[in-house]
Every structure is written in C-alpha cells, then in structure tokens.
Amino acid sequence: MKALGARFGAALSGYETIELIGDVGAGKTTFVKGLAKGMGIDEDVQSPSFTISRVYDTSTNGLLAHYDFYRLGEAGILSEDVQESMADQETVTVIEWAGIVNNSLPETRIRIEIIAADETTRTLMIDTPAYIEEDIG
C-alpha cells in the first residue's frame, strides 16, 4: 500500500483532491504514508483521526493536507477549511471518511476504495481523471 501510495504521490500535479474509502483498518492512512513519500515529504504521516487534519510541507512542491472526519458528526467550521484546501492550487487534499463533506467534494476528485481481502491483502478500486492513469502507468 505504501509503495502504491508513493507511485501515486509522485504522479500528482500538486492540487488534486483524493477521497479514500474503506473500513476501519482498510489501509487508507497507510496509503497516505506512501503518498507523502512520493510527494517528497520526509515527515512521518500520522493518522489525523484525533486531530481531524494534518498538513505536511513538501518544501518544493506545495502541501499535503490530510483529513479524517471519522469522529465528527458534522464538519462545522472545518467544512470551510477543507474547501479552501481543495481549492488551493498548491495543496493535495486527501480525505478519509469524507461523508460529512460529501457535498463539497469536487466532481474531478480521485476516488480510491480499499477493501481488505484478508490480513495482508488489499483490493483497490481507483476512479481517477485520465491524466493520472497515464502518469502512473
């Protein structure tokens, strides 16, 4: 999952919105750890379950904003925060448990659904704009 995330991260333009779908423990945050590496972020990605959001700086290629709305009943003020992040041309926005901000998600987002087939095997369904598919091969 990390290796795939890294390939993905390296292929991004720098302002995509990625929606990660999957059960608790599916591997969403694990994917983001690799994604950050692929974007050139050295910092270790931690799950934003408790903090709701974390932002990482690539220092050369903009930001990675990582959200997890699992614990929130409603987005409230964070709804503006995430919308700003998605609109920012220099920020890749990744969202776990995006249900409560569903109406704000751009049509052009990348949707990745992760299914845990067994303890170590993951199946992914990826729905992307065409240019990403070309870049990731």
Rounded to the nearest whole angstrom, what is the least distance from the CB of residue 28 to Mg ion in the complex?
Answer: 5
Strands 91-96 and 63-68: parallel
Stretch (H or E) spanning 107: none
Q: From 61, 57, 67, select the one nearest 28 (Cα to Cα).
A: 67
Which of 22, 34, 38, 62 is in the footprint of ligand ATP by CB under 6 A?
22
Rounded to the nearest whole angstrom, what is the least distance from the CB of residue 31 to ligand ATP in the complex?
Answer: 7
Stretch (H or E) spanning 115: strand 110-116
Which of 30, 91, 93, 128 is in the footprint of ligand ATP by CB under 6 A?
30
Q: Say if CB 23 and CB 29 are below 8 A apart.
A: no
Judged by CB under 6 A, the chain residues 44 through 103 that form the site for ligand ATP are: 47, 49, 68, 70, 96
SS3 35: helix
Residues that bind Mg ion (CB under 5 A): 28-29, 47, 96
Using CB under 6 A, list all residues that contact ligand ATP.
1, 22, 24-30, 47, 49, 68, 70, 96, 120, 122
